[in-house]
Amino acid sequence: MFTSFFLKMLNREAASSKNESERIIESLRIQEGYRIADIGSGGGYFTLKFAKKIGKTGKVYAVDSQPKYLDFIRQQAEREGLDNIIFVLVAEDEVNLPEAALDLVFARNVFHHLTEPARYFRNLKRFLKPSGKLAIIDHKPKSGFSFVSIFRHYTPERLILQEMEKAGYFLMESLDFLPEQTFNLFGVK
């Protein structure tokens, strides 16, 4: 009950106009047949959008550490008749995906949850195709009274860039249209 309430809240946040989900998806230049991992898929807002965009020949891997969150997305996918989503449960930061298969790894509002982000993203490198890219969106630091500031659900951008360099990625593009988040695209070095 609480899980469903919380995930609907996450999805509402992702859908709100200030968070520019359509512009995010456009910037990723997703094509039919793409294979995409949505890391920390939460309530599945982006998982479901990706699944519709890539069509029957593509695949989305919804990756999360919470089995109930994956169940929530599975139910939604069934309701919408989407059968191109694979559900991947992460235990102790060990992600298992097909090797050299992914066109895109997408991680929105997840970076600040990771205890060792450089290690986590270094492990994901082997799942990307050589031409593949990795997108990280996270909250900008915030002060004052808000959910993001009180629970420190943010990461300074320079820390993201530093950790991704350590993990063996290069910065392809920084996009600055999101008012409250940073958005960076990386390739594998």
DSSP 81: T
Site string for ligand SAM, 18-57 (x = CB under 6 A): ---------------------xxxx--x------------
Rule CB under 6 A: say whether 163 interacts with ligand SAM. no
Helix (H) or strand (E) holding 17: none
CB 59 within 8 A of CB 82: no
Rule CB under 6 A: say whether 121 interacts with ligand SAM. no
Q: Which residue has the tokens 């593009």?
A: 173
User: Of 10, 101, 118, 188, which one interacts with ligand SAM (CB under 6 A)?
Assistant: 10
Site string for ligand SAM, 60-99 (x = CB under 6 A): ---xxxx--x--------------------x--x------
**Chain residue whose CB lies nearest ligand SAM:** 42
Helix (H) or strand (E) holding 184: strand 181-188
Rule CB under 6 A: say whether 139 interacts with ligand SAM. no
Cβ contacts of residue 5 below 8 Å, gap of 6+? none
Q: Which residue has the tokens 């309430």?
A: 5
Cβ atoms within 10 Å, residue 123: 16
Rule CB under 6 A: say whether 180 interacts with ligand SAM. no
Q: Which residues bind ligand SAM (CB under 6 A)?
A: 10, 14, 39-42, 45, 63-66, 69, 90, 93, 108-110, 113-114
